Amino acid sequence: MSYVFYDTETTGVATSFSQILQFAAVKTDDQLHEIDRFEIRCRLLPHIVPSPGALLVTGITPETLLDPSFPSHYEAVREIRRKLVEWSPAVFIGYNSIGFDEELLRQALFQTLHPPYLTNTKGSERSDAMRIAHAVHMYCPNTIAVPIDNSGRETFKLDKLAPVNGFDHTDAHEAMADVEATIYVANLARKKASDVWETMRQFSNKTAVIEYVTSEDCFSLSERYFGRMYSWLVTYCGKNPEYDSQLAVFDLEHDPDDYISLSVEDLIKVLNKSPKIIRVLTANRQPIMMSADMAPDSVKARSVSLEEQNRRVGVIRSNRGFLARVGEALARRFADRETSPHVERQIYDGFISWDDQALLQEFHEADQGERAHCLEKLVDPRLVELGQRLLFFENPDLLSNRKLAEMEDWLCARVLTDSSAVPWTTIPRALAEVEELLLEEGRGEPGFLEEIKRFLENRPGQLGLA
C-alpha cells in the first residue's frame, strides 16, 4: 500500500480550537519513493485568534494570515480532501500526527461539514513516524541518534531528531520541509530497523492490532510519558463492548488473584488508579507492541518467574467473567461525563447519520444560493451550528438579518471575551501572551512580536467589531 506523509502548520496547539494555515503532503510507494506532492495555504478564519507563540514557531506573518491570494479555509479544506481522497486508500503518516495533525485535519473536515474520518476508513490506515522512532529507540537501541534537550532528557522533536541523523532541516516548521524530514526519519527506521518497521507497519491496521492483542498470551507494550519511555509485560484482559478499538491489558508484574473477583465498580477504580495495573490500549492508534522476549531488561515483570507469568496469564484469560467485567468497566468508566457545550469538542459524540451525510453532500455540490436550504433540513444540531458558521464565513448574504446579527454577536463574544474559562485563544489572551514573550530573552525578534501585537490590536476593526 502507498503512504501519504503529511504535516500541518497551525494557529495553536489546542486541536479543537486551532486552524490549519498550511497543509503539505507527499504520496510515496511502499519503499518511500515519491509519487506525487501537494501543498496549500489558506486565510485566517474570522473567529480564530492565532497564538503568538505558534506564529513565532512557524514564522507565519500577520500579513500572510490575511493574504487575499490565498483561498478561504473552506476552499482549502475542499482541495485537501479532494487530493487525499484521490490518493486513497493509503497509510496516512505524519510526525506526532495521531495526537496532533490528524486531530487538526479531523476538525477541519468536521467544521466544514465533511466526514472527519478520512484517514482510517475505506481501506486507509494511519501511522505515526514519531511512534515508530520511539519503537526503534526502545527495541533497536543505538540505531538512530536521539538528541538531549536543555533539561538533560532525550527529545524526539522532529526539528532536533532529523538534523542529528543527517537531515538538513533548515526550513523546520514549514509544512513541506517537515514532511520531507518525516520521510527521512521513516526511511532510517525502514532501512536500519526493518523488523521494528515491519511490526509497526502491521500495527497501523486496527484489525491486526486486535488480533495480536487477543491471541498473544503475553507481549511487551511500550509508551512514552513525560519525556521517558516505559515498557510492560502484559496480557489481554477485556474489550469495551461499545467501542471495539478500546482494549484492556493486565500488567503481569501484579498478581491477578488480587483483582480477579472485583466488581465492575471496583475495576473502574483500578482503571483510574496510578500506577496502572490494567492499561488501556487503543487499537487504531498504532500501539508499540513487540514479542515478550524483546521486552527491555528494565520491565518489572521480568523479575517474575516464567512459570508464575504463565500462571497469571492463565488465571486472567480463562476467566470469562473477569474479561467481561473489565470490558463493562471500560464502557462505564466515563459514562457520567457531561457533553461539552462547545461544538468542536462534540466531534466524537456520535456518528453523522446517513440522511445528514447525504444532505451535506448536496450542500457542497449546490449553487451558493441553495446552500441555506440544504442546511435547513439537517437534524444533527452539531451540523446545524457548524453550517450556520460556514454560511456566515462564506456566504453571509444568505443569512436573514436576524441570523446575521446573531452571528456577529457570537463572533464578537468569541474573540473579545476576557474570560479565562474559555478553552480557545482570544484577543485579550493573545495580547497578554505577546507582552510575556516581549519580556523573555531569546524568544524571537522583538520586531516580529510587535508586528503580531499591532495585528491583534487592529483585528477587531478588521472584523467590524470595533
**Exposure string for 63-85, b = 16+ CB within 10 A, e = fewer:** ebbeeeebeebbebbeebbebbe
Helix, strand, coil percentages, rounded to 5, for the chain:
50, 15, 35
| pLDDT tens profile 57-88 | 999 999 999 999 999 999 999 999 999 999 99
Can you read off the three cell numbers belonging to residue 184? 527521512
Distance CA 154, CA 28 (A): 30
In 3D, which of 19, 129, 7 has the Cα closest to residue 70? 19
The Cα 385–Cα 378 span in angstroms is: 10
Mean pLDDT within 343-365: 96
Q: What is the pLDDT of residue 443?
A: 65
What is the secondary structure of 193-220 as a DSSP string?
-HHHHHHHHHTTSHHHHHHHHHH-SSEE
Lowest-pLDDT range of 19-28, 98-107, 141-150, 260-269: 141-150
Residues with Cβ within 8 Å of residue 397, at least 6 apart in sequence: none
- Taking only the tens place, the pLDDT of each residue in 222-279 is 999 888 899 999 999 999 999 999 999 999 999 999 999 999 999 999 999 989 999 9
**pLDDT of 123 higher than 90:** yes
- Three-state SS at 435: helix
Mean pLDDT of the chain: 95
Q: Which of 434, 436, 430 is nearest to 448 (CA)?
A: 434
What's the pLDDT score for residue 433? Answer: 95
Dihedral angle, C-alpha 371, 374, 378, 382, nearest 10 °: -10
Give, in order, the Cα–Cα distances in Å from 288 to each of 134, 136, 182, 254, 280: 8, 10, 18, 21, 13
| Contact between residue 87 and residue 2 where contact means Cβ atoms under 8 Å apart | yes
Which residues, at least 6 apart from 178, have a Cβ–Cβ distance to it below 8 Å? 7, 24, 95, 158, 172
Question: What's at 289, amino acid-wise?
Answer: M
* Rounded Cα–Cα distance for residues 395 and 372 (Å): 9
| pLDDT-based confidence at residue 445 (cuts at 50, 70, 90) | confident
Start-to-end C-alpha separation, the chain: 53
Could you identify the residue written with the cell 469495551? 240
Sheet holding 219-225, edge to edge: 278-282, 246-251, 228-239, 219-225, 288-291
The whole-number pLDDT of residue 22 equals 98
Three cell numbers at 166?
Answer: 543527517
Give the global pTM.
Answer: 0.95
Percent of all residues in the chain with a pLDDT value above 70, rounded to a whole number: 99
- Measured CA to CA, the distance from residue 391 to residue 398 in angstroms comes to 7
Q: pLDDT, tens digit, for every residue of 126-172? A: 999 999 999 999 999 999 999 999 888 899 999 999 999 999 888 87
The full 3-state SS of 391-427, as one line of letters, equals: HHHHCHHHCCHHHHHHHHHHHHHHHHCCCCCCCCCCH
Give the three-class secondary structure for 279.
strand
393/216 Cα distance (integer angstroms) = 52
